[in-house]
Amino acid sequence: MDFNGHIYPTSNEEYNLGASNKRWAKLYVGTTTSYGDAYTPVYWNDGVPSVVTPVQYCEFTIGSGDRGVQLTHDAFTRDSYVLQIVVTEGESNLNSAISWESDVENGVKYIKLTCSVTSGAVSGYILVSRGDAITATQTAIT
């Protein structure tokens, strides 16, 4: 079916789209940049689709003698924010703290973890958020 125009019910809050045994497979709303993608789910907030910024888990290994590792994935953006870096193996092989940066170069989306040259392999994981900004109302506690 191809349709041009608006579709709306004749009565408010009386009719459904689909049924419990006849569900729509997918519902596309907005644009791919305004309402989610494969890594940014959408939830319904008072009947309006809103983007959820999830925390994502990503494992890493920095090889022996390396100064870091670049992790690439479509879920990463310039605004990705590493919330936590957790080393699970090889902590004694670190000769400095691990720092991070996120960026996109030539279409490649990445998070780069860097440190001083390691004495052996270092493994762990990072927790990443998509870094959406919010403005909170502030109230002084006196």
Tens-digit pLDDT profile for residues 7-41: 888 888 888 888 889 988 877 776 666 666 667 77
* Residue 33 CA to its chain's centroid (Å): 13
What the block records as the tokens of 60 is: 């890493």
pLDDT at 133: 60
pLDDT at 45: 72
Among left, alpha and beta (phi > 0; psi -120 to 50; other), residue 30 is: left
pLDDT at 118: 96
If DSSP states are collapsed to H, E and C, what string results for 23-44? Answer: CCCCCCCCCCCCCCECCECEEE
Stretches in the chain below the pLDDT threshold 70: 30-38, 131-137, 140-141
The amino acid that residue 117 corresponds to is V
Distance between CA 113 and CA 72 in Å, rounded? Answer: 11
pLDDT at 35: 67
Using CB atoms within 10 Å of the CB of residue 112, give its burial: 0 to 12 exposed, 13 to 18 middle, 19+ buried: middle
Q: Where are the domains of the chain?
A: 55-129
DSSP letters spanning the chain: ----S----SSTT---SSBTTB--S----S-TTTS-BTTB-EEEETTEEEE---EEEEEEEEPTT-SEEEEE-TT--TT-EEEEEEEEE-GGG-SS--EEEEEEETTEEEEEEE-SPPSS-EEEEEEEE-------------
